[in-house]
Amino acid sequence: MPHHTVFEAKIEHLQILDETGKLDKKLAKDTLNNDQVVYLYEQMRICRALDDIAFKLQRSGRMGTYPQNKGQEANAVGSALAMVKGNDWIVPSYRENAALFMHGMPMHMVIQYWMGDERGSQFPDGVNITPLSVPIGTHMLHATGIAWAMKQRKVKDAAVITYFGDGATSEGDFHNAMNFASVMQVPTIFYCQNNSWAISLPREQQMNSATVAQKAIAYDMPTIRVDGNDIFAVYKATCDARKRAIEGGGPSFIEGVTYRLADHTTADDASRYRDPKEVEAWVERDPLIRTRMYMESVGVWDDKKQEELDTRAETIVKEVINAAISVPEPDKADFFNYMFKEIPEDLKIQRDTMRTTSIGRNPSQIGLKAQPAEAH
Amino acid sequence: MAIQTLVGAITSTLDQALAADKDIIMLGEDIGLNGGVFRATDGLQAKHGKDRVVDTPLDESGIMGTAIGLAIAGMKSIPEIQFEGFLGPAYDQLVNHAARMRTRTRGAVTVPMTVRVPVGGGIHAPELHSDSPESIYAHSPGVKVLMPCTPYDAKGLLNSAIKDPDPVIFFEPKRVYRTFKEEVPDEYYEIPIGKAKVVSEGEDLTVVTWGATMFQALEAIDSLPEDVSVELIDLRSIYPFDMDTIAESVSKTGRCVIAHEAPLTCGMGAEIAARVMEECFLNLEAPVQRVAGFDTIMPYYKLEHEYLPEAPRILQGITECLAY
């Protein structure tokens, strides 16, 4: 056969809970029970409350730049529930806070991080999360490497999930991470939160591909596109991917189609580049709205419960902010002390004198007494 | 005790390391079945397994990035970048990720990793196979940078690098991979990172050098008149570096010549010269002289010996510094 098809591919799309809160019962079988749905809804609501208060803090000058998660929470909570806390690893970008909280990251640490304090990434032992990653796409290779170590050490029943956006899939390291994971057949789940916008660049200008999910086909990786605002679809796709991963089936790819309802960060003004009509259409597809409609339709939620949750969320995030702002100021010695496990003598001198000038370090050279390092 | 070349000492050290610690994993291009393009890993895959001496896809960023992930998860990764000219694609992972992980997590996540990289010119290689980028990495906080040039030092420093809990770049001067042999003990030993070696003691002038240039400096010193006494220091550790040994020597001799293959401007010689000026100011008899590569692109090999700071140029530098 001189000319024939050697490879064909297709991309499947999964939606279980639609925009109106209607559940496809057949597809929903063996996915989330109602207790889990309520739990995930609570996680999304609390994360939303944290977004709101973080936004206000930034606007009032009490916090630096902060990227809101608003609109994308279903991706984080649905996938995080499918992963095993303290056992699996999460290698995050910076728009999946709820997943990190569900896996044991103390909530105030994310605020501490965005308040410019490295201790916000000093996670307690047993929290298997790498720090939030501001550079785009570079962390996915670490997810591949961590999963590789699991395979190498024959760790049973463990996998890694890494999150990134549609923009990240243009980066070389995205492809590097996908190829390595595929060649080494390691248990990594690549979760793309396709929110349509990489700051101001729409997806159509980011790529000429019809879907993000199809990029995984080049790496012979099982791949699916899901409604990223549907906790059922997100959960199911991640469960399937994790099952494959721990059974030796290698990496998987999930594209969650979602939308960033807020600006890219508090330093951004999305009205400069986005059509308000587009945003309005996505407000209607807000994962919190549809999950609540579903819960009400099955009788596990009502206005009273909502009111209680709203109050609880407010209390929690206020406590979180208080915890973040009441952390003692960092010691300036710390930015030296953590350069290496044992820091070189030269660095100790810089730390102890807070000087780089040789005369300043030894003023006896010009007949002066040494000044102690400026008190903290 | 065996007589070994630099590359032979590296191979046997890696062999012993793999045998001693099951958490060590080596990864790189052509390092397994082929034993590395310089044969530095010859036989290691056959002995220790395909899963421990891993032939990777041709992707330097991928090698560095997955080596970081492996290290985060508790392995001790030893990635090889085939030539220093191919560090470019891996630079971001090395400098922006490996180097920063400990500090940005305040010690919660660390990257114990030894990056092996053949370095430098003089072997008639194609373009981008002959550079000396050590000062780029010495200028990048969070990584340690080594460049031993003798088999004995290579073994001791490689052991220290592998044991180190932080990322270390281990540059291997490829020009002297096989040109010099010496006795290397069979048993495990370490040479501390950050300690220079006084190769020969002298009174009149100090030469500070490292990498393949050390042997050029030896040749230059050998051709000096017998009444000239030069102290030769092999830096070995580029960062952290041993200023105490240099300052002690230059305070004694009053004259200092620094020789390195890397371009002159912002080369490691510039840092050492500044530190000599700070620490030995009243003892200096002459301005510090730097014999370095030129501030040019490393020429293709027809002209590489014009570029490299070889024995005649080092001799000239020493003679002029003594005459000042």
Q: Is the pLDDT confidence value at A370 over 70?
A: no
Q: Is the pLDDT of residue A363 over 90?
A: no
Read off the pLDDT of residues B110-156 as tens digits, 9 standing for 90 and up. 999 999 999 999 999 999 999 999 999 999 999 999 999 999 999 99
Same domain? For B136 and B257 the reply is no
Residues B171 and B269 in one domain: no
Pair B72, B212 in one domain: no
Q: Are residues B262 and B304 in the same domain?
A: yes
Report yes or no on B159 lying in a domain: yes
Residues of A assigned a catalytic role:
260, 264, 273
User: Is the same domain home to B118 and B201?
Assistant: no
End position of a domain, from candidates B138, B156, B184: B184
B48, B97, B129, B260: the active-site residue: B129
pLDDT tens-place string over residues A240-285 = 999 999 999 999 999 999 999 999 999 999 999 999 999 999 999 9
In terms of domains, do B219 and B164 share one?
no
Residue B189 lies in a domain: no
Domain assignment present for B230: yes
Q: What is the mean pLDDT of residues A149-170?
A: 97
**ipTM higher than threshold 0.90:** yes
CA-to-CA distance for B137 and A72, rounded, in angstroms?
39
Look at residue B30 and tell me if it is in a domain.
yes
Q: What does A297-343 look like in DSSP terms, one character per residue?
A: HTTS--HHHHHHHHHHHHHHHHHHHHHHHTSPPPPTTHHHHTSSSS-
- B166 with B209, same domain: the answer is no
Q: What CATH number does the domain containing B119 carry?
A: 3.40.50.970
- Which of B130, B156, B184 is a domain's end point? B184
The answer, yes or no, to whether residue A376 has pLDDT greater than 60, is: no
All structural domains of chain A, each given as residue ranges with its CATH number in brackets, are 13-325 (3.40.50.970), 334-366 (no CATH)
* CA B111, chain centre distance (Å): 20
What whole-number distance in Å separates Cα of residue A305 and Cα of residue A284? 22
Number of domains in chain B: 2
pLDDT at A157 over 70: yes
**B145 and B54 in one domain?**
yes
pLDDT the model gives residue B263: 98
- Candidate from A119, A145, A183 with C-beta closest to B65: A145
- Residues B72, A339: C-beta atoms closer than 8 Å: no
Q: What residues contact residue B22 under an 8 Å CB cut-off, 6+ apart?
A: none
Local confidence pLDDT in tens for the 324 residues of chain B: 899 999 999 999 999 999 999 999 999 999 999 999 999 999 999 999 999 999 999 999 999 999 999 999 999 999 999 999 999 999 999 999 999 999 999 999 999 999 999 999 999 999 999 999 999 999 999 999 999 999 999 999 999 999 999 999 999 999 999 999 999 999 999 999 999 999 999 999 999 999 999 999 999 999 999 999 999 999 999 999 999 999 999 999 999 999 999 999 999 999 999 999 999 999 999 999 999 999 999 999 999 999 999 999 999 999 999 999
Residues A58 and A249: beta-carbon distance below 8 Å: no
Residue A374 scores a pLDDT above 70: no
Mean pLDDT over residues A28-39, rounded? Answer: 97
Q: Which A residues 135-154 touch B at CB under 8 Å?
A: 135, 138-150, 152-153
* Residues B212 and B284 occupy one common structural domain: yes
Range of the domain at B175: 2-184
**pTM given for the model:** 0.96
- List the CATH number of the domain containing B210: 3.40.50.920
Looking at residue A373, what is its pLDDT?
A: 58
Domain-embedded: residue B123 = yes
Question: Which parts of A179-283 are beta strand (E)?
Answer: 188-194, 197-198, 201-202, 223-227, 252-257
* pLDDT range class, residue A371, cuts 50, 70, 90: low
Residue B191 resides in a domain? no
The continuous run of DSSP H or E covering A219 comes out as none
With H, G, I as helix, E, B as strand and everything else as coil, classify residue B38: coil
Query: Within a domain: residue B192?
Result: no
Q: pLDDT tens digit string along A291-327?
A: 999 999 999 999 999 999 999 999 999 999 999 999 9
* Alpha carbon of B110: minimum distance to chain A alpha carbons (Å): 9
Specify whether the CB–CB gap between A320 and A113 falls below 8 A: no
Enumerate the β-bridge partners of residue A198.
Answer: A201
Query: How far is it, in rounded angstroms, from Cα B309 to Cα B197?
Result: 20
Domain boundary among B159, B184, B209: B184
Q: Do B66 and A152 touch (CB under 8 A)?
A: no
Amino acid in the structure at residue B117: V
Distance CA(B70)–CA(B140), nearest Å, equals 22
Are residues B135 and B282 located together in one domain of the fold?
no
* B156 and B96 in a common domain: yes
What confidence score (pLDDT) does residue B216 get? 98
Closest approach of A294 to chain B, Cα-based (Å): 40
Domain co-membership, B174 together with B30:
yes
